[in-house]
Amino acid sequence: MADRVLIDIQDNIATVTLNRPDKFNAFDPDMFAAVSEAGRSLSQRADVRVVILTGAGGNFSAGLDISGMGQGGDPVAAFAEEAYELIDDTPANRFQHPAYVWHAASMPVIAAIDGVCLGAGVQVAAGADIRLSSPSARFAVLEIKWGLVPDMGFSAVLRDVMRLDHLKQLAYSGRIISADDALRYGLVSEIHDAPLATAQRLAEEIAGRSPDAVRATKRLIDQGWRETPADGLLLEAKMQHAMMGSPNQIESMMSNVQKRDANYADASIDLGSVSKLR
């Protein structure tokens, strides 16, 4: 399982690489477990300020490896047994967690996409905050091809990414679309000739900001957008109150006044307690 995902951490940036290039990084049981564990372990690290999510061998992921699922048993029975078992304290089961874990991560996640990004791959990429694509990448929600519904976090990670009619079009048809169409549909954020290098530059820019403020901003956007106006504004005020006078906020002010690079400590503010509205 360990070789299914590679993790490289440098300068507070973790690069997570789906590492099954001979199978276009398709998801087998070991890949499900490895991606989930990668997201779980990085989310617990205060020193990681940004995650880059990418795939080895020129592809992001071809989706589910049908040949590797349900071997030696009844796949319907196996799914029924595991579909409602939730991972940790999340609302996601084992199949949904590899996408949901990035959506729920405390730090920003950037997906750098090349080659194929199909089925499970789309849903994992959608768990990221930002998706950068190469011009030649291809995308599809493929579950309909097998007479199934998208079930790898689809309802949680894609609802704020794409316009609903475009999402339905892809989910109903199983159509494979180009990077240009994915950009037009809102599935990708930007197209770049070298998405991984662009993701690295963006990650360095984000990592140079206060990690407390960056994490609070992500929490504010993800949670506040779904609150009532009153609760959203209350959350905004509570987050700001938690930032003001904190060590990293003071360092932001001093580095700007003194015209020098900031030297931030690892994220330390408990945003879970801050974001409780009542």
How far apart CA 212 and CA 223 sit, in angstroms, is 16
Give the pLDDT confidence score for residue 76 in this predicted structure: 66
| Distance from the first to the final alpha carbon of the chain | 42
Which of 66 and 277 is assigned the larger pLDDT? Answer: 66
What is the fold, at CATH topology level, of the domain defined by 210-274? Lyase 2-enoyl-coa Hydratase; Chain  A, domain 2 (1.10.12)
Query: Which pLDDT does position 276 carry in this prediction?
Result: 78
- Count the neighbouring beta carbons within 10 Å of the beta carbon of residue 171: 19
Say whether pLDDT at 74 is over 70.
Answer: no
Task: Judge whether 18 and 35 are in contact, CB under 8 Å.
Answer: yes
Confidence of residue 73 (pLDDT cuts 50, 70, 90): low
pLDDT at 275: 78
Q: How is domain 2-206 classified at the architecture level of CATH?
A: Alpha-Beta Complex (3.90)
Is the pLDDT at 29 greater than 80, yes or no? yes
pLDDT tens per residue, range 256-276: 999 999 999 999 999 988 877
Which of the four pLDDT bands, split at 50, 70 and 90, describes residue 211?
Answer: very high
Alpha helices by DSSP H, 44-109: 75-82, 97-104
> Domain locations in the chain?
2-206, 210-274
Q: In the chain, what are the helix, strand and coil shares in percent, each to the nearest 5?
A: 45, 15, 35
Q: Look up residue 208 and give its two tokens.
A: 């140079």
Cβ atoms of 26 and 63 within 8 Å: the answer is yes
What Å distances lie between residue 261 and 73, 96, 108, CA to CA? Answer: 58, 40, 21
pLDDT over 60 at 70, yes or no? no
Confidence of residue 1 (pLDDT cuts 50, 70, 90): low
Which one has a higher pLDDT value, 88 or 20? 20
The pLDDT tens digits of the residues spanning 108-167 come to 999 999 999 999 999 999 999 999 999 999 999 999 999 999 999 999 999 889 999 999
The overall average pLDDT reported for the chain is 93
pLDDT over 60 (residue 72): no
Residue 187 has pLDDT above 70, yes or no: yes
Residue 8 has pLDDT above 90, yes or no: yes
CB 169 within 8 A of CB 175: yes
Contact assessment for residue 144 and residue 171, using Cβ atoms and an 8 Å cutoff: yes
Q: What is the mean pLDDT of residues 191-220?
A: 97
Decide if 241 contacts 269 (C-beta within 8 A). Answer: no
Query: What does the pLDDT read at residue 193?
Result: 98
**Cβ contacts of 146-149, under 8 Å, gap ≥ 24:** 146/66
Confidence of residue 71 (pLDDT cuts 50, 70, 90): low
**Do β-strands 5-10 and 13-18 pair in parallel, antiparallel, or remain unpaired?**
antiparallel
> What is the tens place of the pLDDT at every residue in 51-68?
999 999 999 999 999 775
